[in-house]
């Protein structure tokens, strides 16, 4: 039995049984290593050897969480919440409620998309914006599973299709790894190849609106608009905007989320928008909020290291290829599903590309696929599983914001809904793109 499949299945089953994701990843890695014939010591060595690769991203998220909490204490997010609450309470008719829902959905979708491209802060906006809006969502009886799907769409689709920000990073990885595997491509071809798979994500978003359209009740104390009225100094608004610009400029200039978050925090600290006597407590609170995401990302890198050490990704693809005997449509479907399995396990689309590209490019050339079709195959296979993976920041981020009051389960309210909404359409649209369109 293939060790990769066993490791991922064990991890997913344990997660679905509500076992902590970190423990599920560790146990899945151990089972996978032993299945592949590695000793316990070899498996642990591979696992611990891979942990360091996640340290940078974990520290980045911790600092971004602290930055987000610092900004939230300036009162600016509350201003937005108060404005929306006043709209909700001014009229109780369904037309008004529908308008407010649409505005909230649009706001969250735009922020998620912008976080990948225009303002590349990734999931850092979620703890800043989502917790205050929960009051509004509860009043509107919005199913939080829909919000998780909206956020996941905005976190994933842009890097698949738009060649800016994180999209530029993802697409550069695709082009580089394909080139190293023997197929040189032009970066400008990637958005063309990924257009149809991106439409699959749009289709999935529509499915999410249909699945989770019904009202859902959450516990909440009565909220009065007057209680939420806040007074924000003009200077605080100015310094907050400056801190956001500083974070963006430094992050882009240094290609480091750590440096960007640090720059934003320094501006808030020096300007006085973040009170010095509260700074330590607030920054620690923000880091604690994102600590779980960081631990999962570190553990996922250890899991990925074990998966690589087994050597069973290659054997899985080769075994599938030998059974297909040139059947292009079935071969493409199998390769997409393998990409889904790998990404579900390690939780990173960006890290999946190097794993599969070296194997998929020769197979695609053997099957007679065009360069554009090969791009679509690899780009889609890498993105598959990002939605739905318990170890993905595209699911961990939404959960971090939606579960601040303990009413949103990571697996059943984020991972399962996003898996259904996006992975199934993405397999279908990716398969259509490779086999029929390109």
Answer yes or no: are the C-beta atoms of 276 and 77 closer than 8 Å: no
Distance in angstroms (rounded) separating the CA atoms of residues 346 and 302: 9
Strands (E), 114-265: none
Q: Is the pLDDT of residue 80 over 70?
A: no
Range among 169-178, 180-189, 417-426 rated most confident: 417-426
The residue among 200, 431, 438, 195 whose CA lies nearest residue 332 is: 431
Task: Kindly report, residue by residue over 254-306, the tens digit of the pLDDT.
Answer: 767 778 778 888 888 888 777 777 777 777 776 776 676 677 767 877 877 88
Mean pLDDT of the chain: 81
DSSP state of 407: -
Does residue 224 carry a pLDDT above 60? no
From CA 144, how far away is CA 380, in angstroms rounded? 27
Which among 15-19, 62-66, 346-350, 428-432 has the top mean pLDDT?
A: 428-432
Give the tokens for residue 287: 């880091």
Confidence class for position 150, pLDDT limits 50, 70, 90: very high
- pLDDT band at 227; cut points 50, 70, 90: very low
For residues 253 and 134, give the distance between their C-alpha atoms in angstroms, rounded to a whole number.
34
Asked whether 389 and 352 are in contact (CB, 8 A), the reply is no
- Give the confidence band of 160 by pLDDT, cuts at 50, 70, 90: very high
Residue 226 has pLDDT above 50, yes or no: no
Q: Which residue has the higher pLDDT, 15 or 415?
A: 415
Residue indicated by tokens 């019904």: 214
Q: How many CB atoms lie within 10 A of CB 44?
A: 17
Q: Which residue has the higher pLDDT, 422 or 20?
A: 422
What are the domain boundaries of the chain?
3-214+235-437
> pLDDT tens digits, residue range 334-385?
889 888 887 887 777 877 787 777 678 878 887 888 999 999 999 999 899 8
- At 121-141, the pLDDT tens digits run 677 778 777 887 888 888 888
Would you state the pLDDT for residue 389?
A: 87
> CA nearest 394: which of 309, 300, 283?
300
- Mean pLDDT of the 243-262 span: 78
- State the DSSP string of 59-119: HHHHHHHHHHHHHHTTTHHHHHHHHHHHHHHH--SHHHHHHHHHHHHHHHHHHHHHTTTTS
Q: What is the average pLDDT across 181-187? A: 85
Report pLDDT for 211.
Answer: 95
Lowest-confidence range among 72-76, 205-209, 383-387, 434-438? 72-76
pLDDT attached to residue 228: 47
Tell me the backbone φ, ψ of residue 2, rounded to 5 degrees.
Answer: -70, 130
The DSSP 8-state label assigned to residue 143 in this structure reads -
């Amino acid at each position: 039995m293939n060790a990769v499949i066993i490791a991922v299945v064990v991890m997913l089953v344990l997660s679905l049984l509500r076992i902590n994701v970190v423990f599920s990843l560790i146990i899945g890695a151990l089972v996978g290593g032993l299945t592949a014939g590695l000793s316990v010591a070899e498996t642990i060595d591979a696992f611990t050897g891979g942990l360091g690769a996640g340290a940078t991203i974990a520290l980045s998220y911790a600092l971004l969480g602290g930055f987000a909490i610092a900004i939230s204490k300036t009162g600016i997010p509350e201003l937005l919440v108060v404005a929306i609450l006043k709209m909700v309470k001014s009229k109780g008719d369904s037309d008004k409620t529908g308008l407010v829902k649409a505005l909230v959905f649009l706001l969250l979708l735009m922020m998620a998309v912008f976080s990948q491209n225009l303002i590349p802060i990734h999931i850092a906006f979620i703890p800043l914006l989502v917790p205050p809006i929960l009051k509004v969502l509860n009043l509107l009886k919005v199913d939080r599973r829909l919000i998780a799907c909206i956020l996941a769409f905005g976190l994933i689709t842009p890097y698949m299709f738009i060649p800016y920000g994180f999209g530029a990073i993802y697409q550069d990885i695709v082009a580089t790894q394909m080139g190293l595997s023997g197929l040189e491509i032009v970066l400008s071809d990637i958005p063309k190849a990924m257009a149809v798979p991106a439409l699959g994500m749009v289709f999935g978003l529509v499915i999410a609106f249909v699945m989770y359209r019904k009202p859902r009740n959450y516990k909440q104390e009565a909220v009065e608009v007057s209680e939420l009225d806040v007074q924000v100094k003009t200077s605080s608004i100015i310094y907050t905007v400056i801190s956001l610009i500083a974070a963006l400029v430094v992050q882009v200039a240094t290609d480091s989320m750590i440096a960007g978050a640090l720059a934003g925090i320094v501006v808030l600290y020096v300007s006085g928008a973040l009170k010095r006597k509260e700074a330590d407590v607030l920054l620690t609170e923000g880091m604690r909020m994102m600590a779980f995401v960081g631990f999962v990302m570190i553990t996922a890198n250890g899991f990925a290291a074990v998966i690589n050490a087994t050597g069973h990704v290659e054997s899985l693809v080769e075994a599938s290829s030998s059974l297909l005997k040139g059947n292009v449509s079935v071969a493409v479907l199998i390769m997409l599903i393998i990409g889904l399995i790998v990404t579900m396990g390690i939780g990173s689309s960006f890290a999946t590309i190097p794993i599969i590209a070296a194997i998929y490019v020769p197979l695609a050339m053997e099957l007679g696929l065009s360069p554009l079709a090969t791009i679509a195959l690899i780009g889609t296979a890498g993105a598959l599983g990002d939605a739905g993976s318990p170890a993905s920041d595209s699911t961990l981020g939404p959960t971090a914001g939606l579960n601040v009051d303990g009413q949103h389960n990571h697996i059943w309210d984020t991972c399962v809904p996003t898996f259904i909404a996006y992975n199934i359409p993405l397999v279908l649209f990716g398969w259509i793109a490779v086999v029929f369109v390109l």
